[in-house]
């Protein structure tokens, strides 16, 4: 039986993803064991390099919990994120990394249940994909 | 400034295949502005190359450095110590920077990481357009500040061709006709009379690249 537990790095916007994570914790909802939360003041703060570095440094999957579009406190942050994630995926395609290893998920402050459900599904998906062969552990 | 874009990833991987430790050298000038080879793009490329090689079971160690201007000998020399510790260099500066490194480090293989494309202007975020072809004999004073050499597909010097339609070029329909732009701007500046002056054919073999690489010598600056 496989013991592979995928490592997930979750960048969380402090305006949405982080409160959702805190709600999931308060409600004692299930979250994957091997999860690293990275709070950011706005998802627009995330550079393409951060996403690749996370994969290079050991993540099997990277998720960005961002505000819904047109609901960014800083107006365009999550739109900029979308472009950067798209660019990162182009680079991943060149490397030969599966696109499922990187995803944006839009949440609101009260999305604790969605936060938990999405991460559990993502962990299942990554278990099926197997380890990220590009990571340098 | 000089505009460039990264070479195809597969091409870079192919010529780095024999090596296991390289320097990825960016440039803090033109290629930083056009997001082809500055510190940030260099770090992205280095990360991607490391992962791609890791996947194949043949890891690649990459040192990273970004001199302020790779095309200047003083800045290129800053790389001396680092180059001494690697087997090859991937330079993501323009072709000038690559050649500066090749001249100063004759014992080291220097590979280009970008294709140098043109001298151009940022027209909006993420969009760059060609504006100058360094013809060596600027005529912008006669053409309302719009260059027909760089911006007209046929490099016409005395008005548009018959293919100009609705202000667009017949070679590329999304491109503005340079001579339409020249006419419109001359008219708005009240300078239409300048367009009656015939611009003679350029002597390409004298001032341009056609007579080989050009050189500027300023005796007063020599040391």
**A52 close contact with B: CB closer than 8 A:** yes
For B47, the closest of A56, A96, A133 (CB atoms) is A56
What long-range pairs does B5-8 form, CB within 8 A, spacing at least 24?
Answer: B5/B34, B5/B36, B5/B114, B5/B115, B5/B117, B6/B36, B6/B37, B6/B41, B6/B45, B6/B92, B6/B113, B6/B114, B6/B115, B7/B112, B7/B113, B7/B114, B7/B115
Considering the domain architecture, whether residues B15 and B71 belong to the same structural domain is answered as yes
Considering the domain architecture, whether residues B8 and B84 belong to the same structural domain is answered as yes
Considering the domain architecture, whether residues B57 and B96 belong to the same structural domain is answered as yes
Give the pair of three-digit tokens for residue B201: 């054919």
Helix (H, G, I), strand (E, B) or coil at A88: helix
CB contacts of B9 in chain A (<8 Å) are 91, 94-95
Helix (H, G, I), strand (E, B) or coil at B147: coil
Distance CA B194, CA B186 (A): 8
pLDDT score of B144 more than 70: yes
Is the residue at B145 inside a domain?
yes
CB contacts of B50 in chain A (<8 Å) are 56, 134, 136
pLDDT for position B52: 98
ipTM summary value: 0.93
**A133 close contact with B: CB closer than 8 A:** yes
State how far the alpha carbon of A62 is from the alpha carbons of A14, B159, B168, B183, B198, in Å. Answer: 17, 56, 45, 53, 62
Is the residue at B222 inside a domain?
no
pLDDT in tens, B145-202: 999 999 999 999 999 999 999 999 999 999 999 999 999 999 999 999 999 999 999 8
- Distance in Å, alpha carbon of B21 to nearest chain A alpha carbon: 15
| Residue pair A119/A35 in contact by the 8 Å Cβ criterion | yes
Output the average pLDDT for chain B: 95
Helix (H) or strand (E) holding B193, with range, is none
User: At A2, is the pLDDT very low, low, confident or very high (cuts 50, 70, 90)?
Assistant: low
Q: Which residues pair with A3 in a beta bridge?
A: none
State how far the alpha carbon of B43 is from the alpha carbons of A10, A51, B127, B166, B181, in Å. Answer: 21, 12, 22, 44, 40
Distance CA B147, CA B137 (A): 11
Is the residue at B57 inside a domain?
yes
- Distance in Å, alpha carbon of B33 to nearest chain A alpha carbon: 16
pLDDT score of A135 more than 90: yes
Domains of chain B: total: 2
CB contacts of B54 in chain A (<8 Å) are 133-136
The range of the structural domain enclosing residue B165 comes to 134-202
For A134, the closest of B10, B40, B52 (CB atoms) is B52
pLDDT for position B204: 86
Considering the domain architecture, whether residues B18 and B52 belong to the same structural domain is answered as yes
Q: Give burial (CB, 10 Å; 0-12/13-18/19+) of B40.
A: middle
CB contacts of A57 in chain B (<8 Å) are none
Strands A8-13, A61-66: pairing is parallel
pLDDT in tens, A79-133: 999 999 999 999 999 999 999 999 999 999 999 999 999 999 999 999 999 999 9
| Cβ–Cβ gap B10/A48 under 8 Å | no
For B47, the closest of A53, A96, A133 (CB atoms) is A53
Considering the domain architecture, whether residues B109 and B143 belong to the same structural domain is answered as no
Distance CA B70, CA B93 (A): 7
Distance CA B79, CA B148 (A): 40
Considering the domain architecture, whether residues B100 and B175 belong to the same structural domain is answered as no
Q: Which residues pair with B132 in a beta bridge?
A: B119
Distance CA B161, CA B201 (A): 16
Considering the domain architecture, whether residues B34 and B96 belong to the same structural domain is answered as yes
Average pLDDT value for residue range A46-73 = 96
Is the residue at B124 inside a domain?
no
């Amino acid at each position: 039986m496989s013991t592979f537990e995928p490592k997930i790095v979750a960048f969380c916007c402090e305006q949405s993803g982080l409160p959702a994570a805190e709600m999931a914790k308060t409600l004692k909802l299930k979250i994957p064991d091997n999860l690293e939360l990275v709070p950011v003041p706005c998802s627009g703060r995330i550079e393409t390099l951060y996403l690749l570095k996370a994969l290079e440094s050991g993540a099997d999957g990277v998720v960005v919990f961002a505000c819904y579009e047109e609901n960014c406190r800083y107006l365009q942050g999550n739109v900029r994120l979308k472009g950067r994630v798209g660019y990162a995926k182009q680079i991943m395609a060149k490397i030969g990394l599966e696109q499922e290893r990187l995803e944006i998920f839009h949440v609101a402050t009260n999305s604790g249940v969605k936060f938990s459900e999405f991460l559990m599904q993502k962990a299942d998906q990554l278990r099926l994909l197997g380890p990220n062969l590009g990571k340098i552990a | 400034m000089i505009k460039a874009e990264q070479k195809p990833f597969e091409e870079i991987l192919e010529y780095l295949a024999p090596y296991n430790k390289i320097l990825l050298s960016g440039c803090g000038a033109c290629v930083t502005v056009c997001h082809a080879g500055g510190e940030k793009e260099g770090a992205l490329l280095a990360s991607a190359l490391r992962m791609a090689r890791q996947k194949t079971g043949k890891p690649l160690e990459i040192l990273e450095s970004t001199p302020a201007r790779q095309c200047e000998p003083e800045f290129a020399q800053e790389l001396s110590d680092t180059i001494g510790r690697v087997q090859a260099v991937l330079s993501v500066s323009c072709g000038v920077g690559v050649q500066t490194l090749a001249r100063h480090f004759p014992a080291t293989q220097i590979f280009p990481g970008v294709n140098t494309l043109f001298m151009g202007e940022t027209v909006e975020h993420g969009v760059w357009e060609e504006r100058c072809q360094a013809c060596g004999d600027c005529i912008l004073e006669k053409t309302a500040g719009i260059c027909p050499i760089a911006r007209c597909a046929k490099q016409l010097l005395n008005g548009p061709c018959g293919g100009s339609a609705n202000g667009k070029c017949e070679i590329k329909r999304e491109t503005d006709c340079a001579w339409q732009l020249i006419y419109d701007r001359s008219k708005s500046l009240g300078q239409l009379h300048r367009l009656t002056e015939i611009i003679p054919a350029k002597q390409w073999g004298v001032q341009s690249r056609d007579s080989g690489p050009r050189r500027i010598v300023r005796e007063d600056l020599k040391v």
